[in-house]
Amino acid sequence: MGNEDGLVLNDKGIKMDELEKKLSSKARASAVNDEIQHAICRVEEMESRFEQLAQVVSELSAVLDKYADAGESLKVLDAYYGSDEWKSDFAADEKGLFPKDLKRGVLSEDAVWNLLSDYRELKERMQEMVGDNVKD
């Protein structure tokens, strides 16, 4: 159906070009709304990751400070373990010369060895992680 402007009307008398503009406007608004929703979801996800990483970095920093401070204890314990003093203390413990309630984990060969080994393994692990991160 035509009109004096040469525009085609639908059966309800609505100009088709106006209808197309309205539809395309709604479609564009819907697409923009979808894009905004995706952006909001993306920002929320990234914010969550940011907060999680910030917490982990803060906690790791505190733990690394403690680990660095423990370096002196490692040196002292490593020097003591297997020394003449340690052997003398071990022998005294074997003879029952120390009080029964004295904590003596340091005189356990396996416990000290395992702790020193764990400390060194952590150091190697951290060095590997730093090396991997340098590559990134």
pLDDT in tens, 22-35: 667 777 777 778 88
Asked if pLDDT for residue 91 goes beyond 90, the answer is: yes
Q: What's the token pair of residue 27?
A: 């479609």
Asked if pLDDT for residue 136 goes beyond 60, the answer is: no
pLDDT at 11: 60
| Residues 107/89, Cβ–Cβ less than 8 Å | yes
DSSP string, the chain: ---TTS--B-TTS-BHHHHHHHHHHHHHHHHHHHHHHHHHHHHHHHHHHHHHHHHHHHHHHHHHHHHHHTHHHHHHHHHHTTSHHHHHHHHHHHTT-S-TT---GGG-HHHHHHHHHHHHHHHHHHHHHHHHHHH-
Per-residue pLDDT tens over the stretch 61-76: 999 899 888 888 889 9
d(CA 52, CA 46): 10
What is the percent of the chain with per-residue pLDDT over 70, rounded to a whole number?
Answer: 79
Identity of the residue numbered 63:
V
- Which residues, in sequence order, are CB contacts of 67 under 8 Å at separation 6+? 122
The reply to whether the predicted model has a pTM over 0.85 is no
Looking at every residue in the chain, the average pLDDT score rounds to 84
Q: For the chain, what's the residue count?
A: 136
